[in-house]
Amino acid sequence: MYVILVYDISTEGNGAKVLRHVFKTSKKYLTNVQKSVFEGEITPALLEQLRLELNQFIRSDLDSVVVFSSRQEKWLEKSFWGMEDDKTSNFF
Amino acid sequence: MYVILVYDISTEGNGAKVLRHVFKTSKKYLTNVQKSVFEGEITPALLEQLRLELNQFIRSDLDSVVVFSSRQEKWLEKSFWGMEDDKTSNFF
């Protein structure tokens, strides 16, 4: 399956640390598209593993993660408006 | 078509003002899902109108907007991990 994962981590409390953990964990499974946006092909089992890993950091009263999933990547087109910081592009 | 729009507005300079404009403009066309995430059904013509409106505010060297589009909403499943702040839900 193909997923887009977007998180919103509150800066309250140890937010900066939570953000680092969430970023690093997401990057193990998916590709970084924009500061807090990841996308990629992933199996349901690995997506569940990612969810469990993120659950260790996410504060259910402060932070939010939303995951959009599609059975196939070809159903999704991606375009950038403004600065393109697509980490998946190979321009140097 | 169905789109997911995610923006990342730099706090540099008049970032706060840009953010307010981008939020308000996006909200005219789409539904707010998470702080900087919008989604919704939109025609290609209205999406182009939204792009042009946002272009008035977005600083091409600082801000980034990414738009994922799908021909049909049913191809996308949405789930929340952590705090669910889905503005589309009707719970009181």
Do A87 and A40 form a contact (C-beta atoms < 8 A)? no
How open is the CA angle B9-A84-B4, to the nearest 5 degrees?
Answer: 70
- Find residue A32's DSSP bridge partners: A38
Judge: A66–B35 Cβ closer than 8 Å, yes or no: no
- Find residue A64's DSSP bridge partners: A8, B82
pLDDT tens-digit map of A41-85: 999 999 999 999 999 999 999 999 999 998 877 778 899 988 776
pLDDT tens-digit map of A14-30: 999 999 999 999 999 99
Structure tokens at A24: 């690093």
Judge: A81–B55 Cβ closer than 8 Å, yes or no: yes
Residue-range domain boundaries for chain B: 2-72
| Rounded average pLDDT over A82-92 | 56
pLDDT tens-digit map of B30-64: 999 998 999 999 999 999 999 999 999 999 999 99
pLDDT at residue A1 above 60?
yes
All residues of chain B having their beta carbon less than 8 Å from the beta carbon of residue A77 are 68-70
Q: Under CATH, to which class is A2-72 assigned?
A: alpha beta
B49 touches chain A (CB under 8 A): no
Judge: B65–A82 Cβ closer than 8 Å, yes or no: yes
B85 is in an annotated binding site: no
What is the ipTM, given to two decimal places?
0.81
Residue identified by tokens 């738009």 is B67
Q: What is the pLDDT of residue A92?
A: 36
Band of residue A90 on the pLDDT scale cut at 50, 70, 90: very low
On the CB side of A30, how many CA atoms lie within 13 Å of its CA?
A: 31
On the CB side of B21, how many CA atoms lie within 13 Å of its CA?
A: 17
Judge: B82–A58 Cβ closer than 8 Å, yes or no: yes
Cα distance between residue B65 and residue A39, in whole Å: 15
Residue of B nearest to A4 (CA): B68
Cα distance between residue A33 and residue A5, in whole Å: 10
